[in-house]
Structures are given as structure tokens and as C-alpha cells.
Amino acid sequence: MLEERGIEIGKLDLVGIFSGKEHYVKLPNGNEFYPVTIAYISKETRGGVLKANGEETTEANSSK
């Protein structure tokens, strides 16, 4: 986050690890894969602007 958005993140807590058959992806070119998503949450952030870029991130929010 610091390098891409200028946001410093403090202590991270694991929300969950998501994968499995319900996340199966088949691309138009025929490639197939099962992605693994690891989600964290932090209540400690400083600086920068939190926003989705539309490519790597489709949603961004903060409860602050």
C-alpha cells in the first residue's frame, strides 16, 4: 500500500483465505485456474488516498 498509494498500514488481522471450486475461473483464451485470495483488515492507516484503480482493485472502502 505504501508504494502504490502512499498509505502506511499498521497491524494486520487475517479476515480469511478464499479459494476452491466456487472461485474457478476459465478465461476466454482457455486458461483455467483457481485463484487464492488472502484478505486482511487493519484499523491503523496513515496518509494517502484509498481508491480503486479499476484493474487490480475493483472496490475500496474505509470505515474511518
Does some domain include residue 17? yes
Domain that holds residue 15: 2-46
- Does residue 16 sit within a domain? yes
The reported pTM is 0.58
Note the pLDDT tens digit of each residue in 2-13. 656 678 888 999
Within a domain: residue 15? yes
Contact yes or no for 12/42 (Cβ under 8 A): yes
Asked if residue 41 is part of any domain, the answer here is yes
Q: Which residues contact 32 (CB under 8 A, 6 or more apart)?
A: 24, 25, 26
Domain membership flag for residue 27: yes
Domain count, the chain: 1
pLDDT tens for residues 18-30? 999 999 999 999 9
Q: 61 lies in a domain?
A: no
The angle at the Cα of 38, spanning 37 to 41, to the nearest 5 degrees, equals 130
pLDDT of residue 29: 97
